Structure 1
Amino acid sequence: MRSTTHEQNKAAVLEAFDLLFNKRDYTAAERFWSDSYIQHSAHIPAGRAGLFDLVRLLPQTLVYENNLIMAEGDFVIAHGRFSGHGRPAAWIAADIIRLENGKLAEHWDVLQDEATQAGSASGLPMFGDRFPS
């Protein structure tokens, strides 16, 4: 069965995130980010170099886990968790990525500290089916 464009875009984003954030394979990750990558995040410097340089500064214990990924046209939204970055709480992120010619071309994000069970007004976890330990 042949993958659809949406499936290819989702797979590209997941592989790109794994290579950069989990494996720290910058050379392989470059294949997935456009040379003219546009960064809209308030937490990340401009361009592909800005993102890669930031990741180089983060602890080697950084981990990205994906919980949900959706695609529409050239856009992908990934709901995930960034942990091991040295802050008290993991970040739950909604990353919005625009792809162009199969590469990550533009990025926006919404970040929030992951709530504990005691800190959750709804009583539900923000990521998956369990609260962080």
Structure 2
Amino acid sequence: MALTKEESNKALVLKAFDTLFNKRDYDAALHFWSPNYLQHSAHIPPGREGLFELIKNVPATLKYENQLILANGDYLMLHGRFSGLGEGVPSWVVVDIVRMENGVLAEHWDVIQDEATQASSKSGLPMFGENFGTTALA
């Protein structure tokens, strides 16, 4: 049975994020991001080159984990965690919004928040998954 457009887009975006953020395979990642990639993040320089250069300059311990991905046509929202950003740096819980075009990531927006610790969480619940992250600041 053929995948729906949304299912295909979800699989492609998850593979793209793993390829760039976890495997750091920049040559393979070129196939996932448009050469005309538009970046709306306040934390990332413009274009595909800006994103790749940023990742090249963060600690090799960087790790991306996905909790949830939603798709509506060519728009996707990912709820994820970026950890391993450096000693004393809290993990980020992020909602990434991407727009696909012709089978590649064409545009990106994000909402980023430092991950709360159990001690700082007023609800007593983790922001990501079922457990509090181990790299968040106390």
TM norm structure 1: 0.98
Where do 1:87-102 residues align within 5 Å?
87-102=88-103
Where do 1:30-109 residues align within 5 Å?
30-86=30-86, 87-109=88-110
Deviations 1:21-79 (A, max 9, x none): 00000000010000100000000000000000000001111000000000001101000
Deviations 1:66-125 (A, max 9, x none): 000000011010000000111521000000000001100000000000000111111110
Unaligned runs of 5+ in 1: none
SS at structure 1 position matched to 2:79: strand
Between the aligned partners of 1:88 and 1:64, the Cα distance in structure 2 is 15
Q: Percent identity?
A: 64
Between the aligned partners of 1:118 and 1:88, the Cα distance in structure 2 is 17
Where do 1:119-130 residues align within 5 Å?
119-130=120-131
Q: Which stretches of structure 1, 4 residues or more, deviate above 2 A after TM superposition? A: none
Aligned to 1:7: 7
Counterpart amino acid of residue 20 in structure 2: L
Between the aligned partners of 1:123 and 1:91, the Cα distance in structure 2 is 18
Counterpart amino acid of residue 108 in structure 2: H
Counterpart amino acid of residue 56 in structure 2: R
Counterpart amino acid of residue 34 in structure 2: S
Counterpart amino acid of residue 113 in structure 2: Q
TM norm structure 2: 0.94
Counterpart amino acid of residue 33 in structure 1: W
- Deviation, 1:132, is 1.6
Between the aligned partners of 1:132 and 1:95, the Cα distance in structure 2 is 19
Aligned to 1:115: 116
RMSD of equivalent CA atoms = 0.7
Unaligned runs of 5+ in 2: none
- Bigger drift between 85-94 and 6-15 goes to 85-94
